[in-house]
Amino acid sequence: MRVLSSQSPDFANQLAALLAFDSVTDASVVQAVDDIIAQVRRDGDAAVLALTQQFDRHPATCMAQLQLSADALKQAFDGLDAKVKDALTLAAARIFDFHQRQVQHSWTYQDALGNTLGQQVTALDSVGIYVPGGLASYPSSVLMNAIPAKVAGVRRIVMVVPAPDGKLNPLVLAAAHVAGVDTVFTIGGAQAVAALAYGTASIARVDKITGPGNKYVAAAKRAVFGQVGIDMIAGPSEVLVYAEGVPTDRADWLAMDLLSQAEHDTVAQAIFVTTSQTLLDAVQREIERALATLPKADIARTATDHRGALILVRDRAEAVQVINQVAPEHLELSIDDPEAMATAIRHAGAIFMGRYTPEAIGDYCAGANHVLPTSGTARFSSPLGVYDFQKKSSIIHCTHDGAQLLARTADILAQHENLMAHALSARYRVDKQ
């Protein structure tokens, strides 16, 4: 893991190089995705089935074999070990409780002229959620995507999840049952995104697509945006951990918090920022110690070697500057007074406060959403939430008397924009003197 210091003359360039990452605009990926989307738009179900057979080695011979019934989802849940079932149910309940508090409601007010203005909030009709499959299958992603949609009042929730060799993690199906998913198709990749966006004979098109995936899924979501809504372009997982080297700091805890993200992907990013050289050295030693035993050590080592960093800063103010520049997906403030520091954090997907709030709890059962902006997009994006599954319509209701001043005003402004039909449309509402 590289070591950086804010006191280095070249620190700004070193930090910029560390943060530079973009796989979605890779020309070969974009071309491959465009070809797949074109096939699905042209051939519908036939293309989806053929591509699923090709990429996932799925044994299905027709689309019906790629769809799972509600009974299949319930059977998966019923077959869970009791402890696993309880854990899944508790996580779902906490996620539901958190997201209920995000629901936005319609509102109106009456202006001084007697007109009624406001906003009508409605849920989306249909949503497609993408869930990674195979070895990297995450039941937690099902809960985090489907439950906010359910809370928002979405009428139809379709889940797509690849099933390499026809095999599925039953926990993913159980999570779909708990979260109230309506339909599941065992398809993945760009072909699944295209099917959701444009529709096929078997898969009705949706209004929005959410959920993480590989670079092909990310590129496909970007390609279909505008045809449908999307949540975000999800990049590799990231964590930034900050600590100050006080006696209560545990280097082994901090090292494992970093590795908990590094084990996700060879291009995941784990960054440790500290004001203490002693703690930096200790965390570096603990990372090496843990990599000797972790099951996914090869993945984690590749990630930490290529995109990880241990950064020494002069003080908390410098740490805040680094954090806001990184705009991390996950930020851990492993300090005694995280509230005091958090007020200065402008850019982070989720902020984990104190030493007893590891990012891992947030991934599963804290209740807040774990679908978060990556690759610096926390500068302008927010975590997935109920608001992503609701939309707003403006309400304008003018009375006869209330329209008089507004119509005369619109008439004047329209004339100055050289839009005479606008002007006349407003003028017709003005009483003749």
Q: Check: CB of residue 108 under 8 Å from CB of residue 209.
A: no
Report helix angle 215-224 to 189-198, nearest 10.
20
Q: Check: CB of residue 189 under 8 Å from CB of residue 162.
A: yes
Tell me the C-alpha distance between 375 and 342, whole Å: 20
CA torsion sign for 158, 164, 168, 169 is: negative
Q: Check: CB of residue 168 under 8 Å from CB of residue 60.
A: no
Q: Looking at 238, 263, 329, 332, which residue is catalytic? A: 329
330 is catalytic: yes
Rg (CA), the chain: 25
Phi-psi region of 153 (alpha: psi -120 to 50; beta: other; left: phi over 0): left
Q: How many CB atoms lie within 10 A of CB 34?
A: 14
Q: Looking at 99, 330, 347, 370, which residue is catalytic? A: 330
The shares of helix, strand and coil residues in the chain, as percent rounded to the nearest 5, are 50, 15, 35
Q: b/e string for 229-258 if b means 16 or more Cβ within 10 A?
A: bbbbbbbbbbbbbbbbeeeebbbebbbbbb
332 is catalytic: no
Active centre residues (catalytic): 329-330
